[in-house]
Amino acid sequence: MKNIIKDKGKGNLIVISGPSGAGKGTIVEGLKKINKNIWVSISCTSRAPRKGDAEGETYFFLTRSEFEEKIKEGDFLEYAEYSGNYYGTPKSKILDKINSGIDVILEIEIQGALKVKELVPDAIFIFILPPSMTELRKRLVNRGTEDKEKLLKRFERAYKEINEVTKYNYVVINDEVDAAVDKVNSILKSERCRVDRIEDIYLGNKEEELHELLVDKDLQNNDMTI
């Protein structure tokens, strides 16, 4: 039996960003465990791999010259330079996934997210925030991956980035990870119920027959005598 509503059958493009240390990556990993209809786009970067990074899983690692060559060739949906390194979203596979009904997640920096918004204004933009700046500082320090000077730059940048929150559709505070993951997943579910996803509404012969039957019964049950 056909559903009364047929949607467009396309996935959504979801952009998740926020200041460094807000927990974007942790939330995305949590989403992958509970939502099987998402595909997380893997970005390219010119930064050196860190401990725990894996080629083709965390990033596609390129040299700076390789990255700049891909920029010239138009291979990126967006790209940005952040803390002295390039980060970019390759176009390949994204459109195919969306057209097959899969939601595509871009976990990208705010600068890149705003570029995507110019190109794809109907994408869904979710901003992740830490519960406080004190907690953000603690998370950055506990990473142990950067020296004091770089940490200071990241912290200063976070203040500026938080001012961009009004350009997003949703904001989620990452205080408790599981709760934050559930909130983001609820956003994805609700977006699939939007009216503008409807392609057609089926009112076939059976529905019309049912309508006529109900009308006839209603007339029989009412006294039409004047």
Mean pLDDT by 10 residues, the chain (226 residues): 66 93 93 95 92 88 96 90 88 87 92 89 94 83 73 80 93 96 97 79 60 59 50
User: What total of structural domains would you count in the chain?
Assistant: 2
Domain extent for 71: 42-92
pLDDT at 80: 85
CA-CA-CA-CA dihedral for 25, 28, 29, 33, to nearest 10:
170
- Counting beta carbons within 10 angstroms of the beta carbon of residue 13, is it exposed (0 to 12), middle (13 to 18) or buried (19 or more)? buried
Residues 36 and 54 reside in one and the same domain: no
pLDDT at 26: 94
pLDDT at 184: 98
Query: Quick one: DSSP state of residue 221?
Result: T
Which domain CATH number covers 50? 3.30.63.10
- Helix (H), strand (E) counts: the chain: 8, 11
Residues 66 and 107 reside in one and the same domain: no
What is the separation of C-alpha 4 from the centre of its chain, rounded to a whole number of angstroms? Answer: 28
Spatial separation of the C-alpha atoms in residues 147 and 149, rounded to whole Å: 6
Residues 131 and 192 reside in one and the same domain: yes
pLDDT at 224: 44
pLDDT at 223: 55
Per residue, the 3-state secondary structure of 39-64, as one string, reads EECCCEECCCCCCCCCECCCEEECCH
Domain stop point among 31, 60, 92: 92
Structure tokens at 88: 């970019």
Structure tokens at 58: 């965390």
pLDDT at 226: 38
pLDDT at 103: 95
pLDDT at 34: 96
Domain stop point among 92, 124, 158: 92
In a domain, 37, yes or no: yes
Residues 190 and 203 reside in one and the same domain: yes
What is the separation of C-alpha 134 from the centre of its chain, rounded to a whole number of angstroms? Answer: 26
